Structure 1
Amino acid sequence: MTEHPDCALVRQGYDAFSRGDMEALSQLMTSDVTHHVPGEHPLAGHHKGREAVLRLYGRLAEETQGTMRVDLEGAFADGRGHVMSVHRIRADRGNMGLEQHGGIFFTVIGGKISDLDECVQDIDETNRFWS
């Protein structure tokens, strides 16, 4: 079975994120990409534009002192420019740890990621971790 091109794109994004390769990651996104982060904490909100999204990712690494790991468990395409991913996140921040499932609903336009709408397994735990 051949992987759908949109799923392959998302998989490349997860791989670049995991390696900390922001240059490769930036090439996979539109210039006006938006990453929507759920919750009520300092990193939550709508991060619009490639530079803002990359700053968010840098902040995730900084806040967790490089301990954040996101393991892609599955990616599912609808064939109309959307991919739904499921992943497992692990991170340490100060004296707190975070380990839970999450997912992202991606919109792909012209072979690039234009929107990431993130969901988490436990919003309260996520808020406590990032606050």
Structure 2
Amino acid sequence: MRPDTHPNAVHTRRLYDLIGSGDLTGYLGLIADDAIFHIGGDSIVAGEHRGKDAIIRLGMLVREETGGTFQTGLLSVQANDSYSVTLHRWTAERRGERVEMDNFNVYGFERGLVVERWEYVADQRAHDAFWRR
């Protein structure tokens, strides 16, 4: 099976489609109750976001801080039985600044659900400056 057609790649594309369309219920349905999202750096979004409630709070924070301008576009996804890796471009506006940056995420899967996500940004310094406290 090709890594870009693996079921976990399909699952990951669906995550991006659901969040892009604003379907939070559908998005959360693909994530384990005890999932952990890891975001590095030193900013208001950095840290370990544990469980669906924390993931929802993270999403609400991003939406509020950017006035709803935050958007993510999936560029590529590859997967195997345990993980998927995405390359995506995100854009947002905050405090009169606009950012456009490529990130990659690694998603861990168990029982057909996302159990962990690690986010890696192209420019940590610029990322932290944009999301500064």
Aligned to 1:105: 106
Size of the alignment, in residue pairs?
A: 130
Unaligned runs of 5+ in 1: none
1: CA distance between counterparts of 2:90 and 2:45? 16
Aligned to 2:59: 57
Post-superposition Cα deviations, 1:60-117, rounded to whole Å, max 9, x if no partner, equal 111111101100000111x231000000010001211110100100001111100000
Alpha-carbon distance, 1:15 to partner: 1.0
1: CA distance between counterparts of 2:9 and 2:83? 9
2: CA distance between counterparts of 1:57 and 1:20? 11
TM-score (norm 1): 0.95
Residues 37 and 48, structure 2, Cα contact 8 Å, conserved in 1: yes
TM-score (norm 2): 0.93
Aligned to 2:90: 89
2:63 corresponds to which letter in structure 1? A
2: CA distance between counterparts of 1:120 and 1:48? 20
Paired residue secondary structure (2:92): strand
Across the aligned residues of Structure 1 and Structure 2, the Cα RMSD in angstroms comes to 1.2
1:29 aligns with 2:31: yes
4+ residue segments displaced more than 6 Å: none
Unaligned runs of 5+ in 2: none
Aligned to 1:3: 5
